[in-house]
Amino acid sequence: MPANEASDTELFRVLVNDEGQHSLWPAGLQVPAGWHTVGPTGTKEECMTYVDEHWTDLRPLSLRRATGGEERAA
């Protein structure tokens, strides 16, 4: 299976960094520095649904703050 394709049974976590950027991360790996877990642990599809619903403004938090946008990370 290609590296960018997940099996239906592979579990992921949703991570977010201090800039409010989201990422999917394999559930069995340690969370990298600068990131923390939010949302579900589940299939790639489940995690992507969470990301799609919660990361609606793709601008980094520092840019949102500088332009009068949102004050906190999602």
What would be the CATH architecture of the domain defined by 12-66?
A: Alpha-Beta Complex (3.90)
Read off the tokens for 59.
Answer: 């601008």
Tens of pLDDT, residue by residue over 8-38, are 789 999 999 999 999 999 999 999 999 999 9
pTM: predicted TM-score of the whole model, two decimal places: 0.74
Q: Across-strand partners of 26? A: 12
- The closest of 21, 45, 44 to 32, measured between CA atoms, is 21
Quick check: 42 and 11 in contact, CB under 8 A?
A: yes
pLDDT at residue 67, as a whole number:
83
* pLDDT over 70 percentage in the chain: 80
The two tokens of residue 1 are 């299976």
Return the domain boundaries, the chain. 12-66
47: alpha, beta or left, given left = phi > 0 and alpha = psi -120 to 50? Answer: alpha
